[in-house]
Structure 1
Amino acid sequence: MKRTALAGLFMSAAMLASPVFAADNNLCTSKLQELEAKVNSLPATSPNAPEIKRLLASAKASQASKDDKKCATEASQALSMAN
């Protein structure tokens, strides 16, 4: 009986945790799209342009390595610098 309850608890926890990972991926993707649009509209004389472009490249690398949390963080940081 205890094993069945414990197995059910683990299965419930796994099912509840899976949308969290999907949310990080969606956040990463949406932030990258928003950042790319900002970078394309940045004036060439913007003082933060090199740092923003570096963060964009780093966020894309994080996304490629499946580190969606780092991707979203870097993209958000770059977006705050672009505003």
Structure 2
Amino acid sequence: MKSTALAGLFISAAMLASPVFAADNNLCTSKLQELKNKVTSLPATSTNTAMEIKRLLSSAEASQASGDDKKCVTEATQGLSLANQANP
């Protein structure tokens, strides 16, 4: 009886945790797409900033490919912040 209850708790915990990972993946994907759109519309005047934004984009894509969605979101958000400062 105890083992069945314990197994049920583990299954419930796994099912509740899975949407959290899916949310990170979706957020990573949407932030990456938004950053890609910003990169294409960057002004040509701030080359150092543009290079840093492109580096963050590449790093975020690599993080997504390796399955590290939290790092992907962090880097894409940093890139978006820089892009917004460069092109308000």
Q: TM-score, normalised by structure 1?
A: 0.95
Q: Which whole-Å CA distance do the structure 1 matches of 2:51 and 2:6 have between them?
A: 52
CA distance in 1, matches of 2:45, 2:69: 31
What root-mean-square deviation, in Å, do the aligned CA atoms of Structure 1 and Structure 2 show? 0.8
Unpaired stretches in structure 1, ≥5 consecutive residues = none
Give the C-alpha shift of residue 45 in structure 1: 1.1
Residue 44 of structure 1: how far off its partner (Å)? 1.2
TM-score by structure 2 length? 0.90
> Paired residue for 2:54?
53
Within a 5 Å distance, the mapping from 1:1-80 to structure 2 comes to: 1-46=1-46, 47-80=48-81
Q: Percent identity?
A: 82
Q: 4+ runs of 1 displaced by more than 3 Å?
A: none
